[in-house]
Amino acid sequence: MSIDDFGERPPSWLELESIKPMSVAGKITSLSPDTLRREYSEYVVQLSPRRTGMKLRDALAIAAGKARRT
């Protein structure tokens, strides 16, 4: 799923709360997953010992410049 999947409508509350893999969050924000982990670590969710993700609403806030860096 990417941000383009929403078309003209805004994402629903459930979609905003869904956790996306770091690769998708990187595409939404135009930042690398490593940069997201370093600069926005408070928004990173540990999915398993080796996988991390980010809520869609946090990725969109970063892309819009409304999220605070750590």
> Got the DSSP string for 5-53?
GGTTSPPPHHHHHSEEEHHHHHHHHTS-HHHHHHH-GGGEEE-SSS-EE
Let me know if residue 70 belongs to a domain. no
Let me know if residue 28 belongs to a domain. yes
Region of poorest pLDDT, from 4-8, 31-35, 38-42, 55-59: 4-8
Q: In the structure encoding, which two tokens stand for residue 6, read together?
A: 């929403």
Let me know if residue 52 belongs to a domain. yes
Q: pLDDT, tens digit, for every residue of 15-38?
A: 999 999 999 999 999 999 999 999
Q: How far apart are CA 1 and CA 11, in angstroms?
A: 12
Across residues 5-15, what is the average pLDDT? 82
Predicted TM-score (pTM) of this structure: 0.84
Q: List the domain range (segments joined by +) for residue 42.
A: 17-64
Domain count, the chain: 1
Q: How far apart are CA 27 and CA 22, in angstroms?
A: 9
